[in-house]
Amino acid sequence: GVAVPMVAGRGLGHTGGTLDKLAAIPGFRTDLSLAETERVLDEVAVCITGQTDELAPADRRLYALRDVTATVDSIPLIASSILSKKMAEDLDGLVLDVKVGSGAFMRGREEAERLARTLVDLARDLGCPAVAWLTAMDAPLGRAVGNACELLEALEVLRGGGPADVRALTLRLGAEMLVLGREAGSVPEGERRLAAAIADGSGLERFRAMVRAQGGDPGLLETPAALLGPLETAEVRAASSGVVAAVDTLAVGLAAVLLGAGRTRSDDAIDPGVGFTIRRRPGERVEQGEPLVSVHHRPGKDVREVCRRLTSAFLVADRPEPSLPLFVARLEARPS
């Protein structure tokens, strides 16, 4: 296999953060020093941690400048920020998942493709082979929304189940990593190897080993109640019969923030256990009164506004609207 160091971030606004999902595991550390990161990589060959003052320290100052100069949306500066951290990891190859659609930072295909193209060409100039996939985010990926909820869904995929789109995306991106790492001769071969690692349990065991190495208790992964805490469920039901024609993914993300699963400021606290289960996805039939979304909230929480926003986010009609395929486009660096 290949060693996978990943410097991830926390969520802000409607976007979820990888670190927030892992922080739902009690004891899991996302603030490793460089020495600790190297130790975890030596032990288990995979590590997911946050940015520290030791890693690309100029990036934080540049982001603060972007914030006050209205250049947060600048594609060259976004690419520079992403790659400054990736190149500090001393990578031999990089696979990027660039989202496009109503729930993405880059909502239009043209701007998402510009970002992806900038990333792979800049990585090439820095001596790092890179592949970028544009993938659809015009509906929530999978059926879980929320930090511990999404973590549990990812574990289901590692156990051989889970939603088909989450599994397909995982296999495709992982296979691209194996090809760049010269551990597979093609993407289909890489997908077969990864599917075998899921089937024999070695993929799940490697995740458990990473959790253990970063201070978490892997035994808690088998007990969802330990990750979620006490919850009640409210159902958002369809007002009419039909097909889920479209979902406003941005609105779903903002409803999750209102519930407590996300943050509007970088110093906001979040509740890792709350979230949603999507009961009907685009293209699926729903009858009047059947649930569209289950809202998992803390006892006593007033979720009427959350439910109102979710009701507005789901369009039920006679037929589904045109939508993007999960895999929109694949980009490699152009010859220099």
- List, for residues 252-309, the tens digit of each pLDDT value: 999 999 999 998 887 788 999 999 999 999 999 999 999 999 999 999 999 999 999 9
- Whether the Cβ atoms of residue 203 and residue 174 lie closer than 8 Å to each other: no
Whether domain 227-317 has CATH 3.90.1170.30: yes
Task: Supply angle C-alpha 186, 187, 188, rounded to 5.
Answer: 95
Q: To the nearest whole percent, how much of the chain has pLDDT over 90?
A: 78
Question: What confidence category does residue 65 fall into, taking pLDDT thresholds of 50, 70 and 90?
Answer: confident
Q: What is the pLDDT of residue 268?
A: 84
Question: What confidence category does residue 59 fall into, taking pLDDT thresholds of 50, 70 and 90?
Answer: confident
Q: Where are the domains of the chain?
A: 227-317
What's the mean pLDDT when you consider all of the chain?
Answer: 93
Q: Which amino acid is at 208?
A: R
What residues have CB less than 8 Å from 155, skipping those under 6 apart?
204, 207, 221
Give the CA count within 13 Å in the CB-facing half-sphere of 65: 9
Helix (H, G, I), strand (E, B) or coil at 273: coil
Task: Supply angle C-alpha 171, 8, 192, rounded to 5.
Answer: 10
Per-residue pLDDT tens for 183-234? 999 999 999 999 999 999 999 999 999 999 999 999 999 999 989 999 999 9
DSSP state, residue 221: G
DSSP state, residue 321: P
- Whether the Cβ atoms of residue 194 and residue 200 lie closer than 8 Å to each other: no
What mean pLDDT is predicted for residues 64-69? 79
